[in-house]
């Protein structure tokens, strides 16, 4: 059994690693060069907690900080419509049904305002056992969203969080 001193040391080491991760992530997100940041880790390791702290600490540097959970597997069109609605301050806009056009519309907002978009539970739209990762049937639009946000020129950052299975970590 571990002595209380060695347990304390282990907890201190863990906490200092967390704060180091936090500083690294903060630098990535603050730096306008990084338009996409992924936080990956085993289930329950503290990704959501870390991202909430980051959002809190960085909120003054962004005009919009939007937290969006994919845990109920929303179709990409719903996600895009909700994100656009949040960034456009709930304005009612006629949105195309076309996913590409909606992504383009969102990117215009990401160019006009500095936004921090956080997509939590990203693993929900992926097939759980496939390596390399594949999207659920009908969810390929998320891949296009990630690709276009990463490739387009804008001043915002999309952060996605997903847990990885042990087999993916060590495999
Ligand atoms: N730095 C920390 N110190 C102590 N407890 C923590 C810390 N970070 C997270 N926790 C606790 O660990 C639990 C899991 O955290 P969290 O929900 O952030 O994990 P997660 O990686 O997002 O999990 P999942 O992959 O299931 O979404 C929570 O109860 C949280 O309060
Ligand atoms: Mg989480």
Domain ranges for the chain: 4-170
The tokens 């600490």 sit on which residue?
57
What is the 93 CA–ligand 2 centroid distance (Å)? 31
pLDDT in tens, 50-83: 889 989 999 999 999 999 999 999 999 999 999 9
> H or E element: which one contains 18?
helix 4-30
Give the residue, by CA position, lying nearest to ligand 1 atom 5.
46
| 78 sits in which H/E element | helix 76-87
Residue 49 Cβ contacting ligand 1 at under 6 Å: yes
- Domain 4-170 in CATH: superfamily? P-loop containing nucleotide triphosphate hydrolases (3.40.50.300)
Helix (H, G, I), strand (E, B) or coil at 2: coil
> Model-level pTM?
0.82
pLDDT one-digit tens code per residue, 4-29? 777 677 666 665 566 667 888 888 88
Distance set, CA 43 to CA 47, 120, 142 (Å): 8, 12, 21
Reported as a single tens digit per residue, the pLDDT across 98-156 is 999 999 999 999 999 999 999 999 999 998 766 667 899 999 999 999 999 999 988 88
């Amino acid at each position: 059994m571990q002595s209380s001193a060695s347990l304390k040391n282990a907890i201190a080491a863990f906490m200092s690693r967390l704060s180091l991760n936090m500083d690294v992530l903060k630098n990535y997100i603050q730096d306008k060069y990084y338009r996409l940041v992924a936080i990956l880790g085993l289930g329950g390791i503290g990704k959501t907690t870390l991202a909430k702290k980051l959002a809190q600490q960085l909120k003054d540097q962004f005009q919009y900080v939007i937290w969006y959970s994919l845990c109920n597997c929303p179709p990409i069109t719903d996600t895009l419509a909700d994100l656009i609605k949040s960034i456009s301050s709930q304005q009612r806009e006629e949105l195309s049904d076309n996913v590409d056009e909606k992504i383009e519309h969102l990117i215009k907002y990401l160019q006009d305002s500095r936004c921090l978009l956080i997509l939590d539970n990203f693993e929900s739209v992926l097939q759980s056992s496939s390596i390399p990762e594949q999207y659920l049937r009908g969810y390929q639009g998320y891949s296009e969203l990630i690709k276009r946000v990463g490739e387009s020129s804008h001043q915002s950052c999309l952060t996605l969080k997903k847990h990885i299975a042990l087999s993916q970590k060590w495999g």
